Amino acid sequence: MTVRVRYAPSPTGPLHIGSARTVLYNWLFARQHGGKMILRSEDTDRERSDVKWEQEICQSLRWLGLDWDEGVDAGGDCGPYRQTQRLELYRDYIQRLEQQGRTYYCFCTPEDLEARRQQSRYEHGGYDGACRQLSAQEVARRLEQGESAAVRFRVPRDTKVEFNDLVRGDIAVETAEISDFVILKKDGIPTYNFAVVVDDVTMGISHVIRANEHLINTPRQILLYQALGEQPPAFAHISLILDKSGRKMSKRMGDTAVDAYAQKGYLPEAIVNYIALLGWSPEDEQEIFSLEELVAEFDMGRVSRSPAIFDVKKLDWMNNQYIMQTDTGRLADMAMEVLAGQGVEVARGREWLRQVIEVVRDELANLAQLAEFLPEFTEEEVEISPQAMESLTWEHSGLVLDQFISRLKQLDSLTSDSVGEMLKQLNKDIKKQTGSGGKTVFMPVRAALSGQTSGQELYLLVPLLGRELALKRIDFCRRAATDSGVNNE
């Protein structure tokens, strides 16, 4: 069998993390089986749908590296791939059901339905079947009078819908629990349950992998497949994603849109890796997976039935792992964009930012956090710790700093090599002059450059500060030491 899967978003908002996981599982399944991935836009909710969202969803998918073989923006033999462009097709299929007596017109108004809903024998207030028995003459008369009608599917009675869900196992639902549902609304627009079946049939979908919230619709859809004489696809319903407090993931508790993570400088491969593990567990303890490894390892049979918990701390940890192993050139390109998006100007440019990343990346959960580190390398005035202040008062600190300054001024170019060499020589010379080196030299230099007694390697810090700022810092720190009354000169 050729595997054909689809992702069918309603373009009413950005791509949610949970939907990204749905796409990923579809995508992995397709790639594992040499199948095709289709992207289709379920845009029949005209009020809420907007192509702007469709484009944004496509963009987020591309950013994640999840491509599709057919569909919106890709074309293909089963198009068009937007439901609003397929209305003719749905009408043909409605007619097919009509001809087999599987449908009836329903003239009930929302008010009628509401008034009777309380008495409905269906658990969730389904339809009581009032128009099921209308005679052909009455229907014809009312249509002629211009009364508008929806089309309902005649659910077969006294039978069961049974199917095996690839995640949830065997499922059986009595049709007594399913009321006759609308397949074509009064405005001529098909309902989700009907359009999705027509689309999945005509697009040759073999596996429907989707969110668990649609499990309730599946028996209805299977009834439609049966009525149309079509073989239903295999179904896999993936569990909800909850936040740490056990509630459905919501904006209130943190970012839910993939785009928000992109803007904060999470790496797409970290997001993919993280969401792959939201509901799927590999056989061993491995946690870091490339997309290729996921294609090889992912197993629909190991997708959990219980809800997954979204833990941003875990995502931060994972993103840091990726930041540590990613080429700093690429990180710098991404970070320039991320910081620009946050309104942070990187006056000294991309190469300088790349060097900053090299120095601080082990502390980054995402690239937007660079903004908090930049002042360390750009501000003239720094906070000075008591230990740093004290080291500036040591007996030889004045001499050390004077000599450091004059050598710094003489260096042709500031590179980690040239600065490293200069510091080594300075240490040697001071030792010769005073009898002590090491801490006596490096501590006051560090204190005067950063206000701290620990931190980045000096040979990395100095080139990042640059000559001008390094000199200003030293001046600032020395003055602060003088003002605090512990003059060392």
Q: Which residues are catalytic?
A: 251
Identify the residue among 5, 161, 196, 270 touching ligand GLU (CB under 6 A).
196
Binding of ligand GLU by 14 (CB under 6 A): no
Report the C-alpha gap between 26 and 40 in whole angstroms. 13
Q: How far is the CB of 31 from ligand GLU (least distance, A)?
A: 19
Determine the interface stretch with ligand GLU among 4-12, 96-104, 152-160, 396-404 (rule: CB under 6 A): 4-12
Residue 11 in the binding site for ligand GLU (CB under 6 A): no
5, 10, 360, 440: which one contacts ligand GLU (CB under 6 A)? 10
Site for ligand GLU contains 456 (CB under 6 A): no
The single residue among 4, 9, 289, 403 that binds ligand GLU, judged by CB under 6 A, is 9
CB of 7 to ligand GLU, least distance (A): 7
CB of 321 to ligand GLU, least distance (A): 31
Give dist(CA 178, CA 200) in Å, integer. Answer: 22
Which residue from 237, 241, 240 is spatially nearest to 166, judged by alpha carbons?
237
Can residue 437 be called a binding residue for ligand GLU (CB under 6 A)?
A: no
State how far the Cα of 223 lies from the Cα of 474, in Å rounded to an integer: 79
**DSSP 3-state assignment of 5?**
strand
| Residue 210 lies near ligand GLU (rule: CB under 6 A) | yes
b/e map of 363-378 (b: 16 or more CB within 10 Å)? ebbbbbbbbebbebbb
Q: Candidates 2-10, 409-417, 453-461, 464-472: pick the segment binding ligand GLU (CB under 6 A).
A: 2-10
Residues 6+ apart with CB under 8 A from 331: 323, 354, 357, 361, 367
Residue 54 within binding range of ligand GLU, rule CB under 6 A: no
Q: Is the dihedral of CA 351, 352, 357, 358 positive or negative?
A: positive
The answer to whether residue 233 forms part of the interface with ligand GLU (CB under 6 A) is no
* Binding flag, residue 58, ligand GLU (CB under 6 A): no
Choose one: 5-13, 107-115, 288-296, 411-419; the region binding ligand GLU (CB under 6 A).
Answer: 5-13
User: Contact region for ligand GLU (CB under 6 A) — 6-14, 120-128, 174-182, 428-436?
Assistant: 6-14
How are beta strands 150-153 and 207-211 bridged, if at all?
unpaired
Nearer to ligand GLU (CB atom), residue 200 or residue 390: 200
Residue 107 corresponds to which amino acid?
F
Measure the CA dihedral 177/179/180/181, to 10°: -100
CA distance 354 to 326: 12
Stretch near ligand GLU under the rule CB under 6 A, chosen from 8-16, 28-36, 59-67, 478-486: 8-16
User: For residues 8 and 38, which CB has a smaller minimum distance to ligand GLU in the complex?
Assistant: 8
Whichever of 64 and 196 has its CB closer to ligand GLU, that residue is 196
The contacts of residue 34 (CB under 8 Å, 6+ apart) are 3
Residue 215's SS3 state is helix
Residues that bind ligand GLU (CB under 6 A): 8-10, 42, 196, 210, 214
